[in-house]
Amino acid sequence: MKNRFSALILACALTLPLVSAKASVVDLGAASGFILLTYNTPNISDSAFNGGLDIGVVNGDWKQSGGARTNTQTPTDVVLSPGHNNNGPAVLNTVFNASLLNNAWADAQKASAMLASLAPTQTLGNITSGLTITEAAVGNYVLSINNINLNQSSLNLVAPKGSTFVLNISGNITLNGGSQCNGILIGGGLTTSDVVINLTSANGKIDSTGGGNAQNIDAIVLATGSNASVNLHPGAILGQTFATTFTSSSGALIQAVPEVTPGSVIFGFLGLIVAVSARRALSSRVRAVVSRSSK
């Protein structure tokens, strides 16, 4: 990885979850080109968004104040609706495309609704202490969970390569504590593209605290309910994040999985799966259309 913080995240995982990334567990449609897509004007300070995918705000300005983490993040595009402003660092280029944002948000909501409709393979209720779920066979696992509330501990998901996990959360996720290597972690042959955390209620939220981004989430995050939110103060998500409201501070990080040749199709019965490698092409097409329209 490019810096000491990324190296620390890899060290915390049960294996190296980013090495063998492939097609996403769910078809994200137009949302697949975004590392972060949020519906409201976010509140962000000293946080970074790395991985080469776009940032998008459906209905507001992009507000990102500086700091060591912010000023060294990967150059990328911020996609906004016309009339809104990019108040972020110089590494963020502004692209105006309301149609893309609206379609992407609608597709993220569709993905969330589809995942919420899946029959659970396991029902867990509330998770309030450290837990490891290990599956020996390759499979598509759907966990129905009320709330996750962890302090200085982790939920570990372990399964062979080719497996997937969907965590349908009807309540909230709270991750607290400054001890490193905590949060929602993956192992075995799983990559962050194999796991989706889906907040199914209108008011669902993810809150994390702990110095040094001790709390990690190794998954794609969907929090698209009308009042849903993701709040990293601080924390790290190693996967794409779609949240109606998003806030972060104190060196928080969202980092997309690297783009590689996609492997086998997952959840094929759900429709076409968007490969991670297609995200760059989508972003390139968006920039080309914007460039032509401005001439």
Contact 171, 196 (CB under 8 A): no
Of 62-76, 146-160, 266-280, which range is least confident?
266-280
* Residue recorded with tokens 């940032």: 55
Number of residues that make up the chain: 295
Helix (H) or strand (E) holding 11: helix 4-12
| Contact call for residues 88 and 71 (beta carbons, < 8 A) | no
- Return the structure tokens found at 217: 């989430």
Domain regions of the chain by residue span: 4-293
Q: Which residue has the higher pLDDT, 17 or 66?
A: 66
pTM tops 0.75: yes
Question: How does pLDDT run across 100-126, given as a tens digit for each residue?
Answer: 999 999 999 999 999 999 999 999 999
CB-based contacts of 87, cutoff 8 Å, min separation 6: 61, 62, 63, 64
Long-range contacts, stretch 6-13, CB < 8 angstroms, 24+ apart: 6/50, 6/255, 8/180, 8/212, 9/213, 9/216, 9/236, 9/238, 9/253, 9/255, 11/181, 12/180, 12/181, 12/182, 12/185, 12/216, 13/185, 13/186, 13/187, 13/216, 13/218
